[in-house]
Structure 1
Amino acid sequence: MKTLTIAATFCVVAASAAVADTPARVLTQILPTAKQYPNEAAAIATLNENGFKVQYNSYEGLGLSTADGLRLVSDNAFNITSVQIGTAARDDAFFEGLDLIGVSPDMESLRTAVDAYRDVFDARLRERFGATVLALWPFGPQIFYCNAEIGTIEDLAGLKIRSFTPSMSALLESFGATPVTLNFGEVYPALQRGVTDCGVTSPTSGNSGAWPEVTTHQLPLSVSGSVQGIFANLGWWESLTEEERTTISDAYAKLEDQQWVLASEINDDAVACNTGQESCAEGTPFDMTLVEISDDDRTAVSDAATTVVLPDWISRCEATYPGCTKIWNDTVGAARGFTASAP
């Protein structure tokens, strides 16, 4: 019998016997309170049941920063690492092209963008960081939690707002807000103490993280999907047998599909729970004020994506990866109807 070793905050999962144990060090962002956790726990259990001795730890449990995710997998400190794509963009702007703020505002359009970009994303990841993609999936629509009275997106002007990607910061600045870069776990106390006025995350993450306890207004205007990447160190990956790689690929492909379904199905309920509606079924009920989204709000975000977000991203991407504009235009741009122009 093999054991799945998990950080102190994680539960222990029993695994069945297999022919041989192959060690696998896995680092995750997902906490047990998250709706996405059971799917990842099931994937890890599958690996253990098929001959892997998995050491499964969280960034939070080890006191690590998610900003270091790419370097941790590149150095093979962990064989498999979960990375927030917007955070990874600080190491290489090209990766953020997958989920630029305002370009893919719903889960259907986002999946189209992700599918279009996956191959070029993986090629860059292999070349730049010696890693390969196992899964790409979103937490869900990224919306606004504010401890301030807002009625439209224009009311964000003058507010301090949590941001976690460079393109999100560019969008917020275009609306007159001040972006404050924070990891998810830092946001609740920042909102509580007035370090920030608003935070951006998915309805489910905000609900499970109790953000409505320290915010009053919910603007459910999606600006991105917070895509997560699960990457394997390439050297470690190539050291495995074909059968082992197939086992891992299948487990994470199933996880990816499950997380996309989850992102598409549970967020309306979370908004209902955050705002105290009777239809709340799965989340914790709160009593935030629900701000109605206007067509002008949607147009403002779409316009900012073209006039602010894309030019900002192109300048950063071309500086380290000349020619990335054409790659993006041929993939995400073509799939989503955007055309970026290099400066």
Structure 2
Amino acid sequence: MFRSLLLSACLLVPFTASAETVTLRVLGQPSGSGLIAQQKEEPFFKALAETTGLDIKVEYLPIDVAGIPDTDGLRVLKSGLFDIVSIRGPQVSRDEPSVLGLDLVGLNTGFAVGREHVDAFMPYVDSRMQSAFNAKLAGMWPAGPQVLFCKPEVAGLADLKGLKVRVGDQSAANFVGQLGATGVSMPFGEVQQSLARGVVDCAITGPASANTGGWPEATTTVLPIALQLAMNGYAINLKSLEKFSADDQKKLETALTQLSSDIWSFSEELYVDAMNCNTGKEPCERGKPYKLTEAPVSDADLKAVSAAVTEISLPIWAKQCDAVATDCAETWRQTVGAKMGL
């Protein structure tokens, strides 16, 4: 009788399985890409369990250390090889063109306007990632204004004619092509030596990344006209996200969104400091001091970059994006285009 009662009582008690620690594999920015990766991204992920209170173990690996091309970020995310990927926007735009709509050449000439445009179009890019790559886009952030570093002395954009210029994406390649230059795509880690050896004459990146990569050692001039902001971001595999409860999913997504917001502010600080460092000015607190010549930005160059959106980058990109998703360009016009008054 006692055993029967005990068995009956046990059957009435709900069985609760002990939760297992979830391992999150994170594919990060290249190890040598700069202070954003070193001082913001990597520390964030290493402390993620503690700051969120989630029962997780994080394995963080820079993409170059993993030996994975940065153009494959969305592919490895979809495959489930990594749970979270720090996507490099210009590079993955070959697989998902809508990403490039966040940062067309001439669109984001500063941080404030860049935030507005990203906020307007990011929901659409997220929907594309969910349907095409089974991933949730949790945040976007800028590496910083993308400017020109050249080995030969240049006084403006017109001097790029006939030169080979390393570019980050097709939008930039189209732009320099209109100037009579040849756009060359290559991984960040190869640029410094390519500049030194004359494989390319100029290269486009942010001042902080250039400083970290030693580009001023192989160049003479910086032309500080912002062509793009080089948008990057964080995406989570949806199957990985489903391992968490609804509340814990919100905690994880909120943490990634906050990291992205923090990097926006940090990126702006880095830009000012790195421009000082690269050109031998003070204060130079975070980088190595160099003495590049800072070419003055002319009104003609500013007009050329501003006109690039409607004349070059948007028309070409719209065809590419609509070929993948027929509502892409129209959605851009209704969101970002409306903010620009197009």
Instruction: Out of 316-325 and 197-206, give the one that drifted further.
Output: 316-325
Q: How far off is 1:280 after superposition?
A: 2.6
* 1:223-246 deviation per Cα after TM superposition (whole angstroms, max 9, x unaligned): 010000210011211232123312
Find 1:163's aligned residue among 164, 167, 170: 167
Runs (5+) with no aligned partner, structure 1: 1-18
Return the letter of the residue paired with 1:176.
Answer: G
Which structure has the larger Rg over C-alpha atoms?
Answer: 2
Q: Distance in 1 between matches of 2:159 and 2:319?
A: 28
**5+ residue gaps in structure 2?**
1-18
Matched, 1:136 2:158: no
The correspondence for 1:208, drawn from 202, 205, 212, is 212
Report the more deviating stretch, 155-164 or 328-337. 328-337
Q: Structure 2 matches for 1:1-343, cutoff 5 A?
A: 20-31=20-31, 34-36=34-36, 37-49=38-50, 50=53, 51-337=55-341, 339=342
Task: Give the conservation status (yes or no) of the 8 Å contact 1:25–1:56.
Answer: yes
Are the structure 2 counterparts of residues 32 and 168 from structure 1 closer, same or farther at C-alpha, using a change threshold of 3 Å?
A: closer
**In structure 2, the residue corresponding to 1:104 is in which secondary structure?**
coil
2:155·2:295 contact (CA, 8 Å) conserved in 1? yes
SS in 2 for 1:103: coil
Corresponding position of 1:5 = none
Between Structure 1 and Structure 2, which shows a larger proportion of helix residues?
Answer: 2
Report the secondary structure of 2:40's partner residue: helix
Instruction: Kindly tell me the number of residue pairs found equivalent between the two proteins.
Output: 320
> Deviation at 1:105?
1.2
Amino acid in structure 2 at the alignment position of 1:34 = G
Is the Cα–Cα contact under 8 Å of residues 104 and 336 in structure 1 kept in the other structure? no
SS in 2 for 1:266: helix
- Provide the C-alpha distance between the structure 2 equivalents of 1:125 and 1:278, rounded to a whole number of angstroms: 43
Determine the structure 2 residue equivalent to 1:8: none
Contact 1:139 1:225 in 2 (8 A): yes
The answer to whether the Cα contact below 8 Å between 1:21 and 1:53 also exists between their aligned partners in 2 is yes
How many angstroms apart in 1 are the aligned matches of 2:42 and 2:49?
Answer: 11
CA distance in 2, matches of 1:181, 1:170: 12
Q: Name the CA distance, whole Å, in 2 between partners of 1:33 and 1:225.
A: 15
Give CA-to-partner distance per residue, 1:108-148, whole Å, 9 cap, x none. 11100000012111111101111011220001100011001
Measure, in 2, the Cα distance between the counterparts of 1:97 and 1:190. 29
Name the SS for the 1:162 alignment partner. Answer: strand
TM-score, normalised by the number of residues in structure 1 = 0.90
Provide the C-alpha distance between the structure 1 equivalents of 2:320 and 2:20, rounded to a whole number of angstroms: 46
**CA 1:230 to 1:150, structure 2 compared with 1: closer, same or farther past 3 Å?**
same
Q: Is the 8 A contact 1:147 1:215 kept in 2?
A: yes
2:57 alignment partner, SS class: strand
Segment of structure 1 superposing worse, 87-96 or 195-204: 87-96
1:260-287, Cα deviation, whole Å (9 max, x unpaired)? 0012222122111101124333321001
